[in-house]
Amino acid sequence: MLLHETKIFIPALLACWVLTLTGYAVAEEPKFSNPAAGFKPLSAAQESALAVSKLGAPPKLSSDEMEKISRGKVILREVKGQGEARSCQAIAVIKAPPSKVMAFLRDYPSYVKYMPHLKDIKVSWNGNMATNSYQLKIALTKVAYTLNLLHYGDSVIEWEYVSGDIRDTNGYYHLHPFNDSQWTLVDYNVYTDPGMPIPQFIVNLLTRSSMPDVIEAIRKAVADRFGAK
């Protein structure tokens, strides 16, 4: 989930951008807000009805890409880029079923243990929606942002930006059964607009290099919890 918004995950990427390009402490008051934020919690029946359509088909992979993910590699794709904004996709296999992967992904307080630079996270649940406020610190730089996250069974998490120190971010985890449902094919997609001028090569480097670390964090957390590898 953020970062894109992150090294989570989403979190680390955002912090790295701000630290590298501004060099000053971020104010506690949010710089940006999303007036279009409109996620609402769903009933159990609505969540169940939408889970299959939200998941959709697994990403198409070439035979070479299939061979790579079977060896534990992470496939990275830039979906869209304009200016400083980027939308990137990471595809990988985690050797545990979707239910176990989702068990960690829903356990937001445990992210502090696994996600680099994440110092605190406050979580508020309302049905299948969580509103999370993240606090990160790298050196003397602090980064804060809030997301709404909707959850659909053991298959999907999608998030929207509420407010914080970047202009916008959104994304999703799609967890597809793999290897006779013993493993999970993770489709992780993140869009981030930092809202500040950033050289092209830095954006590409930080975006593409952070997402595999998110996958590795999830793998370690699931292995620690369930003994998966």
* Mean pLDDT value of segment 132-142: 77
Residue 23 or residue 32, greater confidence: 32
pLDDT value at residue 209: 67
Higher pLDDT, 50 or 229: 50
169, 161 Cβ separation under 8 angstroms: yes
**3-state SS class at 38:** coil
pLDDT-wise least confident of 2-6, 66-70, 174-178, 205-209: 2-6
Q: What are the sequence ranges of the domains in the chain?
A: 10-226
Q: Residue 182 class from Cβ within 10 Å (0-12 exposed, 13-18 middle, 19+ buried)? A: exposed
Model confidence pLDDT, tens digit, residues 140-171: 667 789 999 999 999 999 999 999 988 888 99
pTM of the model: 0.83
User: Out of 3.90.180.10, 3.30.530.20, 1.10.287.10, 3.40.50.460, which CATH number does the structure's domain 10-226 have?
Assistant: 3.30.530.20
